[in-house]
Amino acid sequence: MRMIVNSITYKPQRASHYCLWKRLVGAIMSAPIASMGRCDVMRLMMNDLFDVSGKVALVTGGSRGIGEMIAEGFVANGVKTYISSRKAEACDATATRLSEQGECISIPADLSGSKGISVLVDEIKSREDQLDVLVNNAGATWGAEIEEFPETAWDKVMDINVKSPFFLTQALLGLLEKSACPEDPARIIMIGSVDGLNVNRLPTFSYGPSKAAVHHLTRTLASHLADRNINVNAIAPGPFPSKMMAHTLGTMGEQIRQGVPLKRIGKSEDMAGTAIYLASKASSYVTAAVIPVDGGLIGAAGTL
């Protein structure tokens, strides 16, 4: 019994040992367990299902807001987590803060174009021989009345929200594939939005369409990567506190809160919990899903 517990609670220090470790745990769990109490078995199974420790992840836009919430959840649960954003000082400061709970490394880069994507990918490749989880979170929005909406803003939003996740994913496929196995596939988590599912009446004309594209890109990538053991899912957040949402929540916060069936704004643990689930063995059979994390905004708000 002690030997079984020790084997299962062992945490691989290197990501390359991860799949081997998962197979070993699987074999132990299917061995006769008559001598174990029922509660022991249940607890070990839950630990195994949601345990993400020993994995390696990259969270784009991890310096603040939703990316930081996800990165913090990963770091606190033993994931070696890389974060990236344009402003080096802010990215470094977040990595230093999160490193108090585990391992967080800052790699600043502007991901809106191929040059910045190469900087990030080259740096990751020089440090890791495989990647377990890629979170495509970095994003931007723009608001202007329809007559004044600039073409540059349209392109800026589409580039960072849609184009960059595709080309970053393309560049990291080799590393993801090295961690992928049927028992615990590699994961890509796309950050969409409820604005890609419902029409937002604010004049953010390129944002909603960009997020609808993110959801469809999620399904397209999932379809193409399923036979390479890479699962691709999206989180569609409702309102969460962040720099992007600061003005909207500052001016319409109470109205937004009242419109959410659960009557509150999202919290760090709401976002971290869903990301951990999507990175863990518990979601191995989930791919091409778009999961609203929105207090019921999409599914339960009704029309009256």
Ligand X SMILES: NC(=O)c1ccc[n+]([C@@H]2O[C@H](COP(=O)([O-])OP(=O)(O)OC[C@H]3O[C@@H](n4cnc5c(N)ncnc54)[C@H](OP(=O)(O)O)[C@@H]3O)[C@@H](O)[C@H]2O)c1
* Residue range at the interface with ligand X (CB under 6 A); choices 46-54, 137-145, 280-288, 295-303: 137-145
Nearer of residues 180 and 214 to ligand X, judged by Cβ? 214
Residues 167 and 218: beta-carbon distance below 8 Å: no
* Residue range at the interface with ligand X (CB under 6 A); choices 30-38, 62-70, 166-174, 254-262: 62-70
Q: Return the residue of 77, 81, 112, 179 that touches ligand X, per CB under 6 A.
A: 112
Residues 19 and 181: beta-carbon distance below 8 Å: yes
Q: Smallest distance from the beta carbon of 169 to ligand X, in angstroms?
A: 15
Pairing of strands 80-84, 104-106: parallel
* 140 lines the binding site for ligand X (CB under 6 A): yes
Q: Give the DSSP H or E segment for 208.
A: helix 207-225
Q: Smallest distance from the beta carbon of 130 to ligand X, in angstroms?
A: 23
* Residue range at the interface with ligand X (CB under 6 A); choices 26-34, 98-106, 233-241, 279-287: 233-241
Beta bridge partners of 181: 184
Nearer of residues 15 and 158 to ligand X, judged by Cβ? 158
* 97 lines the binding site for ligand X (CB under 6 A): no
* Residue range at the interface with ligand X (CB under 6 A); choices 41-49, 50-58, 83-91, 295-303: 83-91
Nearer of residues 2 and 243 to ligand X, judged by Cβ? 243
CA-to-CA distance for 224 and 238, rounded, in angstroms?
28
Q: Smallest distance from the beta carbon of 76 to ligand X, in angstroms?
A: 18
Q: Which long-range CB contacts under 8 A does 118-124 form with residues at least 24 apart?
A: 118/171, 120/58, 120/60, 120/84, 120/168, 121/168, 121/171, 121/172, 124/58, 124/82, 124/172, 124/175
CA-to-CA distance for 93 and 231, rounded, in angstroms?
31
* 162 lines the binding site for ligand X (CB under 6 A): no
For 190, 215, 274, the CA distances from 208, given in Å and listed in that order, are 15, 11, 22
DSSP track, 44-69: HHHHHHH--TT-EEEEETTTSHHHHH
Q: Return the residue of 19, 55, 58, 63 that touches ligand X, per CB under 6 A.
A: 63
277 is catalytic: no
Q: Build a one-symbol-per-residue string for 240-259: x at contacts with ligand X by CB under 6 A, - elsewhere.
A: x-xxxx--------------
Catalytic residue among 10, 18, 82, 207: 207
Q: Smallest distance from the beta carbon of 195 to ligand X, in angstroms?
A: 7
Buried b (16+ CB within 10 A) or exposed e, 53-86: bbbbbbbbbbbbbbbbbbbbbbbebbbbbbbbbb
Nearer of residues 140 and 288 to ligand X, judged by Cβ? 140
* 67 lines the binding site for ligand X (CB under 6 A): yes
CA-to-CA distance for 72 and 74, rounded, in angstroms?
5
CA-to-CA distance for 137 and 227, rounded, in angstroms?
24
* 107 lines the binding site for ligand X (CB under 6 A): no
Q: Return the residue of 55, 64, 215, 281 that touches ligand X, per CB under 6 A.
A: 64
Q: Which residues are catalytic?
A: 207
What residues line the site for ligand X (CB under 6 A)?
61, 63-67, 85-87, 90, 110-112, 137-140, 160, 191, 193, 237, 239-240, 242-245
